[in-house]
Amino acid sequence: MVLDESKIPTHWYNIVADLPEAPPPPLHPGTREPLTPDDLAPLFPMGLIAQEASTERWIEIPQAVRDIYRLWRPSPMIRAWRLEQELGTPARIYYKYEGASPVGSHKTNSAVAQAYFNKEAGRTKLTTETGAGQWGSALAFACDVFDLECEIWQVRSSYEGKPYRHVLMETFGATVHSSPSDLTQAGRSFQERFPDTSGSLGMAISEAIEVAAADPNSSYSLGSVLNHVLLHQTVIGQEALQQLAEFGEEQADVVYGCAGGGSNLGGLTLPFLRENLDGRTSTRLVACEPKAAPSLTEGEYRYDFGDTAGMTPLLKMYTLGPDFVPDPVHAGGLRYHGMAPLLSFVKHLRMMDAISVKQREAFAAGVLFARTEGIVPASESNHAIAGALREARQAAEDGTSPVIVIGVSGSGQLDLPAYSEFLAGDMADS
């Protein structure tokens, strides 16, 4: 089921307008007072800062952004007939597939928007960090579209271990450094203190921020966690609602999304939550996180730093603490100690459930999905599929036929080494 281009949403949806109370604000790390727009101005353009704090329900998507969305949006929603058959389940399973985007994941939905608002603000360059590489490739593509320079610090272990990823960023014209690099004060200091380090997201963030903060023509871009990033991703859930209706379904009984920093999960589920809040539906929303980074299922709901170095604003969120180091699971995009404050608040209000999945269960689900639906899902997406499989198997036992929606956030073509490890029986069950 692919909607006509004319059905690409015209607005992003802001859940803040519909929540029963305002989410706790981010705090300045020094004063512990609520953050002001000016506090963020050195790093982000005003257009994005306004979105971050907005309480408007609908925020118009600029035509230039919609023009780029047309390259892969509306993304398909597909009935998983063969998966249902294989499971012998009376459940009706649909998946919303974001892997056909230019870089193979949902990340482009926000990257294009961020590049656009930076261009509008007169910035000429964006910096960012990337771990597994999905966000970095998305921003590289988006900067290419809007003629912005793009400089990316990729965690060294990933830069060296996943060489296809940085080539993809370079193909889109970005400059990619292995982090820690010699190019920043932070990078040089990390190398001195940890001579053999394979890098970390925290280090890469410090390098990208240092370069952006030092140059008034540059901004820093973040691929998840923040409100404006989740906002941009709501095109996913809005389209999914339309597509389910065209399939003739009255509502989704349950929606499964994978949970890392929260951008895919939020983009998929928040439009469904709006329908619930309006009383039109009673859809259960389920966050699927890796057992190795179980912020929603085992973390505390409190103010914490967004990064490991403690340089960012304090965010009220489910967190495992900034020093938490997850096991090196393959779903690099889910290895985050916290969770988007907006989703944390929604979970805190009991409007969303959460489960955790070990990676062998996740990859077993991914292989079954590949063998039935023909799409090899991203490591991250496998967690959502695993959650949905539990539900579909339960439905088979109970003889019920729930409508299940799975968010398949990306393609696993560049995750094949992890599949190899799983198929060989060598994958740790973290």
x/- string (CB under 8 A) for a copy of itself, residues 119-158? ----------------------x--xx-------------
Tell me if 102 contacts a copy of itself by CB under 8 A: yes
The residue within the footprint of a copy of itself, chosen from 272, 318, 336, 419 (CB under 8 A), is: 419
In 294-415, which ranges are continuous DSSP H helix?
A: 295-298, 341-348, 359-373, 379-398
Tell me if 58 contacts a copy of itself by CB under 8 A: no
Tell me if 375 contacts a copy of itself by CB under 8 A: yes
Q: How far is the CB of 379 from a copy of itself (least distance, A)?
A: 13
| Among 53-61, 149-157, 395-403, 414-422, the segment contacting a copy of itself (CB under 8 A) | 414-422
The residue within the footprint of a copy of itself, chosen from 14, 51, 89, 108 (CB under 8 A), is: 108
E strand spans, 347-411? 353-357, 403-408
Contact yes or no for 22/258 (Cβ under 8 A): no
Tell me if 178 contacts a copy of itself by CB under 8 A: no
Q: How far is the CB of 361 from a copy of itself (least distance, A)?
A: 16
Closest CA to 150 of 220, 200, 71: 220
Tell me if 104 contacts a copy of itself by CB under 8 A: yes
What is the distance between the alpha carbons of residues 423 and 117, in angstroms, rounded to a whole number? 43
| Among 30-38, 55-63, 72-80, 124-132, the segment contacting a copy of itself (CB under 8 A) | 72-80
- DSSP of 122-176: T--EEEEEESSSHHHHHHHHHHHHTT-EEEEEEEHHHHHH-HHHHHHHHHTT-EE
What is the distance between the alpha carbons of residues 168 and 413, in angstroms, rounded to a whole number? 13
Closest CA to 171 of 150, 147, 141, 146: 141
When the beta carbons of 78 and 209 are compared against a copy of itself, the nearer one is 78
Q: For residue 13, give the amino acid letter.
A: Y
Name residue 410's beta-bridge partners. 105
Name residue 177's beta-bridge partners. 153
When the beta carbons of 102 and 290 are compared against a copy of itself, the nearer one is 102
Tell me if 101 contacts a copy of itself by CB under 8 A: yes
**Footprint on residues 261-290 left by a copy of itself (CB under 8 A):** none
Q: Tokens 């459940």 appear where?
A: 91
- The two three-digit tokens of residue 29, written as one number: 């790390």
Closest CA to 203 of 136, 153, 166: 153
The residue within the footprint of a copy of itself, chosen from 10, 28, 164, 398 (CB under 8 A), is: 164
The residue within the footprint of a copy of itself, chosen from 44, 116, 146, 172 (CB under 8 A), is: 172
Q: How far is the CB of 255 from a copy of itself (least distance, A)?
A: 22
Q: Tokens 């925020």 appear where?
A: 59
In terms of C-beta density within 10 A (0-12 exposed, 13-18 middle, 19 or more buried), how is residue 242 classed? middle
Contact yes or no for 241/275 (Cβ under 8 A): yes
The residue within the footprint of a copy of itself, chosen from 17, 423, 428, 429 (CB under 8 A), is: 423
**Footprint on residues 335-364 left by a copy of itself (CB under 8 A):** none
Tell me if 371 contacts a copy of itself by CB under 8 A: yes
Residues that bind a copy of itself (CB under 8 A): 1-2, 5, 67-68, 71-72, 76, 78, 81-82, 100-104, 108, 141, 144-145, 163-164, 167-168, 170-173, 367, 370-371, 373-376, 411, 413-414, 416-417, 419-420, 423
